[in-house]
């Protein structure tokens, strides 16, 4: 059996986010009361605790906060892409998220690098957000 990469299992709290990814849209939550923007999806605003949290589409622009080049993956499905870049990026709207940086020469990855979202077929046609240098 061919090894598969890990796929997310959307929950009642994250279904809207993952559905939007399938339309190649990156959504983040914004509080309707204090306008705080947050990721990952939650029932409440982490700033003011309001339950009035809506969704906005991110510009998809971000910068690399920190990164590593993974030489030794733990699961066989990730072996064929190793070494690959794992990073935490900060979206233009403020929140941070983990991702892979793709289409990037390993010599040119650095903290502060400007990147933009794209959506990759992870497994079985399911699209996952990753980032590439601008």
Partner 1 sequence: MESLRGKVAIIGVADTEVGIVPHMSATQLTIDAALKALDDAGLTKNDIDGLITCNSFAEPILYHAEAMAEYLQIKPKLCYSVLTGGGTTFSLVEHAAAAIVAGLCHTVLIVTADSLRSGLTKEKAMTSQASTGHPQFESIYGPTVPALYALIARAHMEKYGTTSEQFAKIAVACRKHASLNPAAQMRELISVEDVINSRMIADPLHLLDCSLISDGGAAVIVTSAERAKAFKQDPIYLLGVGEGHHHEHISQALDFTTSGATDSSKLAYEMAGLGPKDMDFAQIYDCFTPTVLVELEDLGFCEKGEGGAFVDSGAIELGGALPINTHGGLLSHCHPGHPGSMFALTEAVKQLRDQAGERQVKNAQTALVHGQGGIMSSHTTLIIGREVS
Task: Give residue 118's region: left, alpha or beta (phi > 0; psi -120 to 50).
Answer: beta
Nearer to partner 1, 17 or 30 (CB): 17
- Rounded to a whole number of angstroms, the minimum distance from the CB of residue 4 to partner 1 is 11
10-38 burial, b at 16+ Cβ within 10 Å, e below that, comes to: eeeeeeebbebbeeebbbbbbbeeeebbb
- Rounded to a whole number of angstroms, the minimum distance from the CB of residue 103 to partner 1 is 15
Cβ neighbours of residue 69 under 8 Å, at least 6 residues apart? Answer: 83, 84, 85, 86, 106, 109
Residues that bind partner 1 (CB under 8 A): 5-11, 14, 18, 39-40, 65-75, 78, 81, 83-84, 86-88, 96-100, 110-111, 122, 128, 130
Nearer to partner 1, 30 or 129 (CB): 129
- Rounded to a whole number of angstroms, the minimum distance from the CB of residue 121 to partner 1 is 13
| Residue 110: both structure tokens together | 């650095």
SS3 category, 131: strand
Nearer to partner 1, 20 or 86 (CB): 86
- Rounded to a whole number of angstroms, the minimum distance from the CB of residue 66 to partner 1 is 4
């Amino acid at each position: 059996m061919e090894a598969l990469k890990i796929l997310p299992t959307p929950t009642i709290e994250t279904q809207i986010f993952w559905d939007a990814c399938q339309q190649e849209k990156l959504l983040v939550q914004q509080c309707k009361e204090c306008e705080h923007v947050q990721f990952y999806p939650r029932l409440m605003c982490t700033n003011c605790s309001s339950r009035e949290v809506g969704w906005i589409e991110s510009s998809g622009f971000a910068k690399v906060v920190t990164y590593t080049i993974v030489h030794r993956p733990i699961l066989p499905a990730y072996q064929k892409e190793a070494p690959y870049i794992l990073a935490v990026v900060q979206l233009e709207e403020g929140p941070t998220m983990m991702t892979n940086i793709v289409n990037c020469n390993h010599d040119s990855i650095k903290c502060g690098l400007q990147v933009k979202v794209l959506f990759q077929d992870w497994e079985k046609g399911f699209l996952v957000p990753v980032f590439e240098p601008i």
